[in-house]
A and B are shown apart, each in its own frame.
Chain A
Protein backbone atom coordinates (compact mmCIF):
# COMPACT_ATOMS: atom_id res chain seq x y z
CA UNK A 1 0.00 0.00 0.00
CA UNK A 2 1.38 3.40 -1.00
CA UNK A 3 2.10 6.26 1.40
CA UNK A 4 -0.29 9.23 0.89
CA UNK A 5 2.54 11.36 -0.64
CA UNK A 6 3.41 8.58 -3.11
CA UNK A 7 -0.26 8.15 -3.90
CA UNK A 8 -0.63 11.86 -4.73
CA UNK A 9 2.54 11.76 -6.83
CA UNK A 10 1.22 8.79 -8.81
CA UNK A 11 -2.19 10.42 -9.22
CA UNK A 12 -0.53 13.53 -10.64
CA UNK A 13 1.10 11.28 -13.23
CA UNK A 14 -2.33 9.93 -14.21
CA UNK A 15 -1.94 6.50 -12.65
CA UNK A 16 -5.43 4.94 -12.68
CA UNK A 17 -4.60 2.22 -10.16
CA UNK A 18 -3.65 4.89 -7.63
CA UNK A 19 -7.05 6.50 -7.96
CA UNK A 20 -8.67 3.14 -7.25
CA UNK A 21 -6.42 2.77 -4.20
CA UNK A 22 -7.32 6.28 -3.01
CA UNK A 23 -11.05 5.51 -3.28
CA UNK A 24 -10.61 2.18 -1.53
CA UNK A 25 -8.60 3.68 1.30
CA UNK A 26 -10.64 6.82 2.02
CA UNK A 27 -14.20 5.88 0.97
CA UNK A 28 -15.37 4.99 4.50
CA UNK A 29 -13.90 8.17 5.96
CA UNK A 30 -15.57 10.37 3.32
CA UNK A 31 -18.88 8.51 3.41
CA UNK A 32 -19.10 8.45 7.21
CA UNK A 33 -18.38 12.18 7.48
CA UNK A 34 -20.94 13.02 4.79
CA UNK A 35 -23.50 10.71 6.40
CA UNK A 36 -23.05 12.29 9.83
CA UNK A 37 -23.69 15.73 8.33
CA UNK A 38 -26.55 15.07 5.88
CA UNK A 39 -28.05 12.10 7.78
CA UNK A 40 -29.31 10.38 4.65
CA UNK A 41 -27.69 7.30 3.06
CA UNK A 42 -28.43 8.17 -0.58
CA UNK A 43 -27.30 11.78 -0.20
CA UNK A 44 -24.12 10.66 1.55
CA UNK A 45 -23.42 8.23 -1.31
CA UNK A 46 -23.87 11.00 -3.90
CA UNK A 47 -21.61 13.34 -1.92
CA UNK A 48 -18.94 10.63 -1.63
CA UNK A 49 -18.94 10.22 -5.41
CA UNK A 50 -18.77 14.00 -5.93
CA UNK A 51 -15.84 14.28 -3.51
CA UNK A 52 -13.76 11.68 -5.37
CA UNK A 53 -14.67 13.19 -8.74
CA UNK A 54 -13.44 16.56 -7.50
CA UNK A 55 -10.28 14.96 -6.15
CA UNK A 56 -9.69 13.36 -9.55
CA UNK A 57 -10.23 16.66 -11.37
CA UNK A 58 -8.30 18.93 -9.01
CA UNK A 59 -5.50 16.78 -7.65
CA UNK A 60 -3.05 19.21 -9.29
CA UNK A 61 -4.23 21.93 -6.88
CA UNK A 62 -3.20 19.83 -3.86
CA UNK A 63 0.11 21.31 -2.80
CA UNK A 64 0.88 18.82 -0.06
CA UNK A 65 0.98 21.53 2.63
CA UNK A 66 -1.60 19.59 4.65
CA UNK A 67 -2.29 15.87 5.01
CA UNK A 68 -4.23 14.22 2.16
CA UNK A 69 -6.93 13.19 4.66
CA UNK A 70 -7.26 16.83 5.83
CA UNK A 71 -7.84 17.95 2.24
CA UNK A 72 -10.39 15.16 1.74
CA UNK A 73 -12.23 16.14 4.93
CA UNK A 74 -12.36 19.77 3.78
CA UNK A 75 -13.83 18.82 0.40
CA UNK A 76 -16.34 16.46 2.03
CA UNK A 77 -17.54 19.04 4.57
CA UNK A 78 -17.87 21.72 1.92
CA UNK A 79 -19.83 19.39 -0.41
CA UNK A 80 -22.08 18.15 2.41
CA UNK A 81 -22.92 21.66 3.60
CA UNK A 82 -23.59 22.78 0.00
CA UNK A 83 -25.86 19.77 -0.43
CA UNK A 84 -27.81 20.69 2.71
CA UNK A 85 -28.22 24.29 1.56
CA UNK A 86 -29.44 23.11 -1.84
CA UNK A 87 -31.93 20.77 -0.19
CA UNK A 88 -33.23 23.53 2.09
CA UNK A 89 -33.59 25.83 -0.94
CA UNK A 90 -35.53 23.16 -2.83
CA UNK A 91 -37.78 22.64 0.20
CA UNK A 92 -38.47 26.38 0.35
CA UNK A 93 -39.53 26.39 -3.29
CA UNK A 94 -41.42 23.10 -2.89
CA UNK A 95 -44.73 24.90 -2.41
CA UNK A 96 -44.31 26.86 -5.65
CA UNK A 97 -43.28 23.68 -7.47
CA UNK A 98 -46.38 21.88 -6.17
CA UNK A 99 -48.54 24.62 -7.69
CA UNK A 100 -47.12 23.70 -11.09
CA UNK A 101 -47.87 20.00 -10.64
CA UNK A 102 -44.50 18.80 -9.35
CA UNK A 103 -45.46 16.97 -6.17
CA UNK A 104 -41.86 16.57 -4.96
CA UNK A 105 -39.98 13.43 -4.06
CA UNK A 106 -39.91 11.22 -1.02
CA UNK A 107 -36.43 12.61 -0.25
CA UNK A 108 -38.09 15.72 1.16
CA UNK A 109 -39.96 13.78 3.80
CA UNK A 110 -38.35 13.85 7.25
CA UNK A 111 -37.24 10.32 8.07
CA UNK A 112 -35.83 8.80 11.22
CA UNK A 113 -32.07 8.56 10.86
CA UNK A 114 -30.21 5.57 12.24
CA UNK A 115 -26.46 5.60 11.82
CA UNK A 116 -25.42 2.13 10.63
CA UNK A 117 -22.32 2.17 12.83
CA UNK A 118 -24.19 2.52 16.12
CA UNK A 119 -24.49 -0.47 18.43
CA UNK A 120 -28.02 -1.81 18.81
CA UNK A 121 -28.41 -0.85 22.49
CA UNK A 122 -27.40 2.73 21.70
CA UNK A 123 -29.76 3.17 18.71
CA UNK A 124 -32.36 5.24 20.55
CA UNK A 125 -29.92 7.54 22.31
CA UNK A 126 -27.90 8.07 19.13
CA UNK A 127 -31.12 8.84 17.25
CA UNK A 128 -31.80 11.65 19.74
CA UNK A 129 -28.20 12.83 19.41
CA UNK A 130 -28.43 13.14 15.60
CA UNK A 131 -31.72 15.04 15.92
CA UNK A 132 -30.10 17.46 18.35
CA UNK A 133 -26.99 17.75 16.15
CA UNK A 134 -29.11 18.97 13.23
CA UNK A 135 -30.12 22.02 15.26
CA UNK A 136 -26.54 23.14 15.98
CA UNK A 137 -24.80 25.92 14.02
CA UNK A 138 -22.64 24.53 11.18
CA UNK A 139 -19.22 25.10 12.76
CA UNK A 140 -20.22 23.50 16.09
CA UNK A 141 -21.79 20.56 14.27
CA UNK A 142 -18.68 20.03 12.13
CA UNK A 143 -16.33 20.24 15.13
CA UNK A 144 -18.44 17.74 17.09
CA UNK A 145 -18.77 15.36 14.11
CA UNK A 146 -15.04 15.35 13.40
CA UNK A 147 -14.02 15.00 17.04
CA UNK A 148 -16.61 12.62 18.47
CA UNK A 149 -17.85 10.64 15.46
CA UNK A 150 -14.73 10.61 13.29
CA UNK A 151 -12.42 10.41 16.30
CA UNK A 152 -10.07 13.18 15.18
CA UNK A 153 -7.90 15.01 17.71
CA UNK A 154 -8.47 18.70 18.42
CA UNK A 155 -5.29 19.48 16.46
CA UNK A 156 -6.54 17.60 13.40
CA UNK A 157 -9.96 19.25 13.68
CA UNK A 158 -8.19 22.62 13.86
CA UNK A 159 -6.24 21.83 10.68
CA UNK A 160 -9.40 20.72 8.84
CA UNK A 161 -11.39 23.78 9.94
CA UNK A 162 -8.50 26.24 9.47
CA UNK A 163 -8.62 27.35 13.12
CA UNK A 164 -6.38 27.20 16.13
CA UNK A 165 -6.79 24.51 18.78
CA UNK A 166 -8.21 26.92 21.37
CA UNK A 167 -10.97 27.93 18.97
CA UNK A 168 -11.82 24.26 18.37
CA UNK A 169 -11.93 23.59 22.12
CA UNK A 170 -14.27 26.53 22.57
CA UNK A 171 -16.46 25.30 19.68
CA UNK A 172 -16.62 21.85 21.23
CA UNK A 173 -17.69 23.12 24.63
CA UNK A 174 -20.38 25.33 23.04
CA UNK A 175 -21.51 22.38 20.90
CA UNK A 176 -21.87 20.17 24.00
CA UNK A 177 -23.74 22.88 25.92
CA UNK A 178 -26.15 23.43 23.03
CA UNK A 179 -26.58 19.69 22.53
CA UNK A 180 -27.57 19.36 26.20
CA UNK A 181 -30.19 22.09 25.77
CA UNK A 182 -31.57 20.49 22.59
CA UNK A 183 -31.64 17.04 24.17
CA UNK A 184 -33.32 18.42 27.29
CA UNK A 185 -36.13 19.81 25.09
CA UNK A 186 -36.35 16.51 23.22
CA UNK A 187 -36.62 14.32 26.32
CA UNK A 188 -38.91 16.74 28.18
CA UNK A 189 -41.27 16.60 25.18
CA UNK A 190 -41.01 12.84 25.06
CA UNK A 191 -41.81 12.31 28.74
CA UNK A 192 -44.15 15.24 29.29
CA UNK A 193 -47.16 13.03 30.10
CA UNK A 194 -45.29 10.82 32.56
Chain B
Protein backbone atom coordinates (compact mmCIF):
# COMPACT_ATOMS: atom_id res chain seq x y z
CA UNK B 1 0.00 0.00 0.00
CA UNK B 2 1.46 3.38 -0.97
CA UNK B 3 1.35 6.52 1.18
CA UNK B 4 -1.68 8.09 -0.58
CA UNK B 5 -3.77 4.95 -0.20
CA UNK B 6 -2.78 4.71 3.44
CA UNK B 7 -3.77 8.37 4.05
CA UNK B 8 -7.09 7.85 2.26
CA UNK B 9 -7.83 4.89 4.54
CA UNK B 10 -6.99 7.03 7.57
CA UNK B 11 -9.33 9.78 6.33
CA UNK B 12 -12.19 7.34 5.87
CA UNK B 13 -11.43 5.86 9.29
CA UNK B 14 -11.51 9.31 10.89
CA UNK B 15 -14.84 10.24 9.31
CA UNK B 16 -16.34 6.89 10.34
CA UNK B 17 -14.92 7.11 13.86
CA UNK B 18 -18.01 9.12 14.84
CA UNK B 19 -20.20 6.07 14.17
CA UNK B 20 -21.11 4.11 17.26
CA UNK B 21 -19.69 6.73 19.57
CA UNK B 22 -21.15 6.58 23.08
CA UNK B 23 -22.69 9.66 24.61
CA UNK B 24 -20.48 11.51 27.06
CA UNK B 25 -21.99 12.13 30.48
CA UNK B 26 -21.65 15.29 32.59
CA UNK B 27 -20.11 15.37 36.06
CA UNK B 28 -22.36 13.94 38.80
CA UNK B 29 -24.98 16.00 40.68
CA UNK B 30 -25.81 18.21 37.72
CA UNK B 31 -29.32 18.85 39.00
CA UNK B 32 -27.97 19.97 42.38
CA UNK B 33 -25.54 22.38 40.70
CA UNK B 34 -28.30 23.80 38.50
CA UNK B 35 -30.56 24.28 41.52
CA UNK B 36 -27.76 26.04 43.39
CA UNK B 37 -27.29 28.45 40.48
CA UNK B 38 -31.03 29.04 40.19
CA UNK B 39 -31.32 29.76 43.92
CA UNK B 40 -28.29 32.05 43.89
CA UNK B 41 -29.76 34.05 41.01
CA UNK B 42 -33.15 34.30 42.71
CA UNK B 43 -31.68 35.28 46.09
CA UNK B 44 -29.58 38.17 44.87
CA UNK B 45 -31.37 41.52 44.64
CA UNK B 46 -29.81 42.26 41.27
CA UNK B 47 -30.96 38.88 39.99
CA UNK B 48 -34.53 39.69 40.94
CA UNK B 49 -34.30 43.14 39.36
CA UNK B 50 -32.79 41.67 36.18
CA UNK B 51 -35.47 39.01 36.04
CA UNK B 52 -38.20 41.66 36.43
CA UNK B 53 -36.68 43.97 33.80
CA UNK B 54 -36.28 41.04 31.43
CA UNK B 55 -39.98 40.16 31.58
CA UNK B 56 -41.85 41.11 28.39
CA UNK B 57 -44.62 42.67 30.52
CA UNK B 58 -42.13 45.27 31.76
CA UNK B 59 -39.66 45.39 28.91
CA UNK B 60 -42.03 46.03 25.97
CA UNK B 61 -43.97 48.99 27.51
CA UNK B 62 -40.69 50.45 28.86
CA UNK B 63 -39.06 50.18 25.44
CA UNK B 64 -42.10 51.79 23.75
CA UNK B 65 -42.08 54.60 26.33
CA UNK B 66 -38.40 55.35 25.70
CA UNK B 67 -39.00 55.47 21.93
CA UNK B 68 -42.06 57.72 22.44
CA UNK B 69 -40.17 60.15 24.68
CA UNK B 70 -37.32 60.29 22.15
CA UNK B 71 -39.75 60.99 19.29
CA UNK B 72 -41.47 63.74 21.31
CA UNK B 73 -38.13 65.39 22.06
CA UNK B 74 -37.05 65.18 18.40
CA UNK B 75 -40.29 66.65 17.02
CA UNK B 76 -40.51 69.36 19.67
CA UNK B 77 -36.97 70.48 18.93
CA UNK B 78 -37.54 70.56 15.17
CA UNK B 79 -40.67 72.68 15.41
CA UNK B 80 -39.27 76.06 16.53
CA UNK B 81 -41.78 78.61 17.91
CA UNK B 82 -43.54 80.81 15.33
CA UNK B 83 -42.53 84.13 16.93
CA UNK B 84 -38.89 83.12 16.73
CA UNK B 85 -39.13 82.28 13.03
CA UNK B 86 -40.93 85.56 12.24
CA UNK B 87 -38.53 87.65 14.25
CA UNK B 88 -35.54 85.94 12.75
CA UNK B 89 -37.02 86.37 9.25
CA UNK B 90 -37.67 90.10 9.71
CA UNK B 91 -34.26 90.76 11.16
CA UNK B 92 -32.55 88.86 8.34
CA UNK B 93 -34.53 90.69 5.63
CA UNK B 94 -33.77 94.09 7.20
CA UNK B 95 -30.10 93.22 7.33
CA UNK B 96 -29.98 91.92 3.77
CA UNK B 97 -31.69 94.97 2.21
CA UNK B 98 -30.08 97.45 4.60
CA UNK B 99 -33.45 99.11 5.26
CA UNK B 100 -32.73 99.73 8.88
CA UNK B 101 -31.93 103.13 10.18
CA UNK B 102 -28.65 102.75 11.89
CA UNK B 103 -27.57 106.37 12.58
CA UNK B 104 -29.23 109.73 13.21
CA UNK B 105 -27.46 111.02 10.02
CA UNK B 106 -29.65 108.73 7.93
CA UNK B 107 -32.79 110.19 9.55
CA UNK B 108 -31.84 113.75 8.57
CA UNK B 109 -30.60 112.78 5.09
CA UNK B 110 -32.81 109.98 3.81
**A residues apposed to B, CB below 8 Å:** 19-20, 23-24, 27-29, 31-32, 35, 44-45, 48-49, 52-53, 56-57, 115-119, 122, 125-126, 128-129, 132, 144, 148-149, 176, 179-180, 183-184, 187-188, 191, 194
Rounded to whole angstroms, the CA-CA distance of A49 and B33 in the bound complex is 8
Task: Identify 18 residue pairs between A and B in the complex whose beta-carbon atoms are under 8 Å apart, listed by A's number.
Answer: A20-B31, A31-B23, A35-B24, A52-B34, A53-B37, A57-B51, A116-B22, A117-B23, A118-B17, A118-B21, A125-B10, A125-B14, A128-B14, A129-B14, A129-B18, A144-B18, A179-B14, A183-B10
Kindly state whether residue B80 has any CB partner on chain A within 8 Å: no
User: In the complex, which range does the number of interface residues on chain B fall in?
Assistant: 20 to 34
> Which of A19, A32, A144 is the one whose CB lies under 8 Å from B24?
A32
Rounded to whole angstroms, the CA-CA distance of A57 and B38 in the bound complex is 9
Rounded to whole angstroms, the CA-CA distance of A44 and B27 in the bound complex is 10
Contact A48 B18 (CB under 8 A): no
Q: Which residues of B contact A52 (CB under 8 A)?
A: 30, 34
Rounded to whole angstroms, the CA-CA distance of A179 and B11 in the bound complex is 9
* Candidate in A56, A57, A179, A187 with the most chain B CB atoms within 10 angstroms: A187
Q: A56-B38, A129-B17 are in contact. Are A117 and B11 (CB under 8 A)?
A: no
B24 → chain A closest CB, angstroms: 5
> Which of A20, A117, A179 is the one whose CB lies under 8 Å from B21?
A117
**B residues apposed to A, CB below 8 Å:** 3, 6-7, 10-11, 13-15, 17-27, 30-31, 33-34, 37-38, 41, 51
Q: Which residues of B contact A132 (CB under 8 A)?
A: 14
Which DSSP category, helix, strand, loop or mixed, fits chain B's interface?
A: helix
Contact A126 B14 (CB under 8 A): yes
Contact A45 B26 (CB under 8 A): yes
Q: Which residues of B contact A122 (CB under 8 A)?
A: 13, 17
Q: Which residues of B contact A117 (CB under 8 A)?
A: 21-24
Known A32-B24, A191-B3; 5 more pairs at CB < 8 Å: A27-B26, A27-B30, A125-B10, A128-B10, A179-B14
Q: A125-B17, A129-B15, A149-B18 are in contact. Are A44 and B23 (CB under 8 A)?
A: no
The 8 closest A-B pairs by CB, nearest first: A117-B22, A126-B17, A148-B18, A31-B26, A125-B14, A125-B17, A122-B17, A32-B23
